[in-house]
Amino acid sequence: MSGLGLLAAAIPLPSAQAEAPYMFQDDFDGPAGSAPNPANWSVQNWQDDVWPPVASQYRDDRRNVFLDGNSNLVLLATKEDDQYFSGKVRGNWRVPMGHTWEARAKLDCLTSGAWPAYWAVNEDPLPDGEVDIFEFYGNRSWAPGTTVHAASNGKTWESKSIAGLIDGGWHNWRMRWDEDGFKFWRDYVDGAKPYFTVPPKPIPVHGNPTDLRWPFNNPGYWMSPMFTLAVGGPGGGDPSLGNFPAAMLIDWIRIW
């Protein structure tokens, strides 16, 4: 994924958050049915490397990834005959340590078979790692969660169940990533304590306690934001038990 770069423009924060300029923001303004700004986002169609595989095909199609004309990005999971389709977008910029991320989202997809997520990922081969700011599992076996993965092997993580924080309303999801690790809030207000904190302590690979991972403080390490709505797979479960179409809406994202 070489060639990504930080956006040069700095956009002022509202007065309530005037600590610093935005590194990046997108309010998803645009005509209904249009694609998200290609300068800001790549609509991806590669499948997730999971087992069992997801049932849906990600595609760059305005039936699945589009602006709704009301300043929202929509990822829509659909069923066409016996095939499911859905959407995945990745931000075209690299964010280093020392910034706050926040996105406002609504989950009209809390159904069996759906697997929506807002996450941050480093797509260079090494060091890897990702942070799932929120993730809902339609398999009904796993509680929704916020998870820091110190490796992409599925065995190296610190996680927090957020079953009481996930619903179908609009919410602001905030992450602070700095030299002290990660902090997470839903609907942040001044002085609020994070619902989850992960210090910069190496995490052992499950089953191999001497193999310790923590790439997030490495010099030059970066992550890019992702929004995905998968169908099926280990997180979504059986989509035949769910109701489709199902949508994930994003009102805005801001990083400063």
What is the tens place of the pLDDT at every residue in 75-114?
999 999 999 999 999 999 999 999 999 999 999 999 999 9
CA angle (105, 107, 110) in 5-degree steps: 160
Please report the DSSP string for 176-235 in residue order.
EEETTEEEEEES--TTPPPSEEE-S-PEEETTEEEEEE--TTSTT-EEEEEEEEEEBHHH
CA angle (186, 190, 194) in 5-degree steps: 40
Q: Percentage of the chain surpassing pLDDT 70?
A: 89
> What does the block give as tokens for 234?
């280990």
Please tell me the predicted confidence (pLDDT) of residue 97. 98
Average pLDDT, the chain: 90
Query: Where exactly are the structural domains of the chain?
Result: 31-255
Q: Which residue has the tokens 């991806």?
A: 44
Q: Is 21 helix (H, G, I), strand (E, B) or coil?
A: coil
Q: Percentage of the chain surpassing pLDDT 90?
A: 82
Q: Read off the amino acid at residue 170.
A: W
Does pLDDT of 40 surpass 70?
yes
Which CA distances in Å does 148 have to 44, 129, 215?
A: 23, 8, 11
Residues 146-182 have pLDDT tens digits of 999 999 778 899 999 999 999 999 999 999 999 999 9
pLDDT band at 132 (very low <50, low <70, confident <90, very high): very high
Distance CA 33, CA 176 (A): 33
Mean pLDDT of 193-201: 99
Mean pLDDT of 116-123: 94
Domain 31-255 has CATH 3.40.640.10: no
Which CA distances in Å does 108 have to 97, 114, 244?
A: 31, 10, 10
Distance CA 77, CA 109 (A): 8
Distance CA 50, CA 34 (A): 30
